[in-house]
Structure 1
Amino acid sequence: MSQEDMTALEEAQGTEAARLYLEQMTAHHEGAADMARDEVADGQNPHAITLAEQIINDQEAEIAQMQQMLTDL
């Protein structure tokens, strides 16, 4: 998140604050899932790969939940 994103979130209220938070957290989770996919594809440590696979599953589930919350706003 950029400083501009943080400022917009800090200044927002109500539904707008919720929307910004969910959008920014979705992007954050997508980044984590992308990093984990890189580990699954290129990693050497089986424990790290297993952890990365769990991270992908968890982050994708949370992304789906946040997308539903955005739809419900």
Structure 2
Amino acid sequence: MGGMGGMDGMLDEDQMADLEAAEGDDAVGLFLESMIEHHDGAVEMAQEEIDNGENPAAIALAETIMETQLAEIQEMEQLLAEL
């Protein structure tokens, strides 16, 4: 994952270690929180393409990414609330 550089939502080594050490609901919660953050990063990238992109196909893809990632974020937030 080193190639992703500074992409928002990527876990650092300490966060990965915390996730690997966690068990049960703690592990589920940490996983969901990190995935929500990761999806937020994808939403930000997609919004940047929608706002500034020039290729209609890329903009359409970004719009699809926004729709699906936001729906997944909502589902993960519901799962997190149920813990």
TM range (shorter): over 0.9
Alignment of 1:35-54 (within 5 A): 35-54=45-64
Q: TM-score, normalized by length of structure 2?
A: 0.87
The 2-side partners of 1:36 and 1:13 are apart by: 33
User: % of aligned pairs identical?
Assistant: 47
Q: Secondary structure at the match of 1:32?
A: helix
RMSD, matched Cα? 0.3
Provide the residue aligned with 2:28 in structure 1.
Answer: 18
Unaligned runs of 5+ in 2: 1-10
Structure 1's consecutive aligned runs of 4 or more residues displaced over 2 angstroms after TM superposition are none
2:81 matches 1:71: yes
Deviation at 1:44, TM superposition (A): 0.3
The answer to which structure, 1 or 2, has the higher relative contact order (CA under 8 A, 6+ apart) is 1
**Greater helix content:** 1
